[in-house]
Amino acid sequence: MNQDYSKFGEKFTRYSGITQLMDDLGKANHSDDENIIMLGGGNPALIPEAHDIFVSELKALIDNNEVDQMLSRYDGPKGSEVFVRVLVEMLNTNYDWHLDEGNVAITNGSQSSFFSLFNLFAGEMPDGSKRKVLLPIAPEYIGYADQGLSADMFVSVKPKIHELDDQQFKYQIDFDKLEQTLKQEDIGIICISRPTNPTGNVITDDELAQLDNIAQANNIPLIVDNAYGQPFPGAIYTDATLSWNDNTILCLSLSKLGLPGVRTGIVIANHATIEAMSRVSGILTLAPSSVGPALVTRLVKSQEIMRLANDVIKPFYQNKATIAQQIFYDVFGGTSAKLHKLEGAFFMWIWFPDLKMTSEELYQQLKAKGVYIIPGHNFFIGMDNTWPHQHQCIRINYAKDETTLRKGLEVIYNEVSL
Ligand SMILES: Cc1ncc(COP(=O)(O)O)c(C=O)c1O
């Protein structure tokens, strides 16, 4: 590319490691090679029962002549008013938050919610100072990494590693380090995914409450990214309470419910933040897509979406988690490999403390054998590269059939030769 681009152009056209990785995964996904074992990517599983419900909702919209709302009219910049109304009703029925319609904005997927939110609160401020996005725990969702309009917009906190029985471990937020970081850096917004992609970690209610207190004491908004969490798709296997207050920005999405193609994100925040999101959205997109909201409005109004999450989606992924854990023990039992406690989402995060190569080298070797995983170093956003642990982990999507997962783990076992 020999064109003169702006700073924006240079930043957003950079061929980053993760772009290369996504290219690899895309090619592998579209390859005819039946021997490819795809354990990378973040695609949700196609759950037949959920899929049938979405298709029948679509048919009902067509049969009842309601499809025009979905296809032929712009919504306002904040998204479908009807959908926002029923969502507010549903949330107020289930949680004691007292929301009104000014607390909710629809976007074209969480990814675009983060772009607006990060760049509203961090980056270059009107007085020339620079603020950062603070990620309280690393590893964190790779999709945050390159979203800043300014350079160096992220800082993350190295976690504590809590070693558990049965070759398991769990990351915990290091609150002392977090407080130090808050003193050293000018932070504009804090963001955490719950469950966390890539680890399947679910920070506890106590950790979240502590984070919330710190955020409020420092007057910094706290984003809680619930893409895999409550109220939908509900892929959380520990006791975790969904909370919200005026300083919290909850980001929800229809993607992991099984609708990544409709690109619908939902932001729940105080009025000023929602108004700001709406103005940004008007400039960037005129209006968010109407497809997702129209498709699920009836499900939200009747609260069937909660039953779908609790009775179909969650048990589906929880069962996959149980199987994945068993396969991990079958393949890696008795070795030094460790599994992050599977508390939510649909990823296995495996740590090889004795790995004799970097996770990137392991990725390349596995790719040559047709097995695709995500090397872990990509998820340590906003921290320097000096912690060996960063190069000893891999992420695996276990929303697969059992045979594929087992075969993939066996190839990995042979490659890491523990
Ligand atoms: C933690 C997390 N948040 C957000 C997203 C993005 O979701 P969306 O499809 O709504 O943009 C993903 C996608 O994989 C994710 O893993």
- Same domain for 33 and 81, yes or no, is no
Domain of residue 282 covers 64-303
Q: Are 44 and 346 in contact (CB under 8 A)?
A: yes
Say what the pLDDT of residue 1 is.
57
194 assigned to some structural domain: yes
Nearest residue (by CA) to ligand 1, atom 13, is 42
According to DSSP, the residues that pair with 160 across neighbouring strands are: 172
pLDDT at 351: 98
Cα–Cα distance between 97 and 101 in angstroms, integer?
12
Residues 174 and 341: their CA atoms lie apart, in Å, by 18
Together in a domain, 368 and 411: yes
Decide whether any atom of ligand 1 lies within 6 Å of the 147 Cβ. Answer: no
Q: Which residue, 283, 303, 323, sits at the end of a domain?
A: 303
State the closest ligand 1 atom to the C-alpha of 111, by its place in the atom list counted from 1: 11
CA-closest residue to ligand 1 atom 2: 227
Q: What does pTM read for this prediction?
A: 0.96
Closest to 384 (Cα-Cα) out of 181, 221, 190: 181
Last residue of some domain: 247, 276, 303?
Answer: 303
Nearest CA to ligand 1 atom 14: 42
Candidates 18, 43, 108, 111: which one to mutate for ligand 1, based on the most atoms within 8 Å of Cβ? 111
Question: What is the Å distance from ligand 1's center to 110 Cα?
Answer: 6
Judgement on whether residues 277 and 201 belong to the same structural domain of the protein: yes
Q: What is the pLDDT of residue 19?
A: 79
Domain boundary among 303, 329, 363: 303
- Around Cβ 333, how many Cβ atoms within 10 Å? 11
For the CA of 254, the closest atom of ligand 1 is: 10
| Residues with Cβ within 8 Å of residue 334, at least 6 apart in sequence | none
Q: Is 227 left (phi over 0), alpha (psi -120 to 50) or beta?
A: alpha
pLDDT tens digits for the chain (418 residues)? 568 999 999 999 888 777 777 788 888 878 888 889 999 888 899 999 999 999 999 999 999 988 988 899 999 999 999 999 999 999 999 999 999 999 999 999 999 999 999 999 999 999 999 999 999 999 999 999 989 999 999 999 999 999 999 999 999 999 999 999 999 999 999 999 999 999 999 999 999 999 999 999 999 999 999 999 999 999 999 999 999 999 999 999 999 999 999 999 999 999 999 999 999 999 999 999 999 999 999 999 999 999 999 999 999 999 999 999 999 999 999 999 999 999 999 999 999 999 999 999 999 999 999 999 999 999 999 999 899 999 999 999 999 899 999 999 999 999 998 6
**Which mutation among 116, 255, 257 tests ligand 1's pocket best, with the greatest number of atoms within 8 A of CB?**
255
Distance between CA 91 and CA 96 in Å, rounded? 8
Question: Parallel, antiparallel, or unpaired: how do β-strands 393-397 and 130-135 relate?
Answer: unpaired
CATH number, domain of 133, equals 3.40.640.10
* Residues in Cβ contact with 393 at an 8 Å cutoff, skipping those fewer than 6 apart: 139, 349, 350, 351, 352, 359, 376, 377
Q: What is the pLDDT of residue 17?
A: 72
CA of 58 to the centre of ligand 1 (A): 23
Residue 54 located in a structural domain:
no
Domain count, the chain: 2
Ligand 1 and 397: CB distance under 6 A: no
Query: Residue of the nearest CA to atom 12 in ligand 1?
Result: 227
Q: Identify whether residues 35 and 168 lie together within a single domain.
A: no
Any atom of ligand 1 within 6 Å of the Cβ of 260? yes
Task: Report the alpha-carbon distance of residue 389 to residue 376 in Å, rounded.
Answer: 9
* Distance separating alpha carbons of residues 377 and 314, to the nearest angstrom: 29
The reported pLDDT for the residue numbered 41 is: 84
117 ligand 1 Cβ < 6 A: no
Q: Which atom of ligand 1 is nearest to the CA of 114?
A: 4
179 and 249: one domain?
A: yes
Please check whether residues 283 and 320 belong to one and the same domain: no
CA of 255 to the centre of ligand 1 (A): 7
Does 288 sit in the ligand 1 pocket, CB within 6 Å? no
Q: What is the pLDDT at residue 295?
A: 97
C-alpha distances in angstroms, 94 versus 53, 316, 317, 418?
A: 22, 23, 23, 48
Beta-bridged to residue 156, according to DSSP, are 135
193 lines ligand 1 (CB under 6 A): yes
Q: Calculate how far, in angstroms, residue 335's C-alpha sits from the geometric centre of ligand 1.
A: 33
Query: Could you tell me if the CB of 143 is within 6 A of ligand 1?
Result: yes
- φ, ψ of residue 216 to 5 degrees: the values are -65, -40
Ligand 1 touching residue 253 (CB < 6 A):
yes
Count the alpha carbons within 13 Å of 111 in the hemisphere toward its beta carbon.
12
Which atom from ligand 1 is nearest to the alpha carbon of 264?
A: 10
* Same domain, residue pair 196 and 295: yes
Tell me if 255 CB under 6 Å of ligand 1. yes
**Residue whose CA is at the smallest distance from ligand 1 atom 3:** 227
Q: Could you give the CA distance from residue 381 to residue 135 in angstroms, rounded to a whole number?
A: 8
238 within some domain: yes
Give domain status of residue 58, yes or no.
Answer: no
Residue 103 in contact with ligand 1 by CB distance below 6 A: no
Q: HSE of 138 in the Cβ direction (CA atoms, 13 Å)?
A: 28
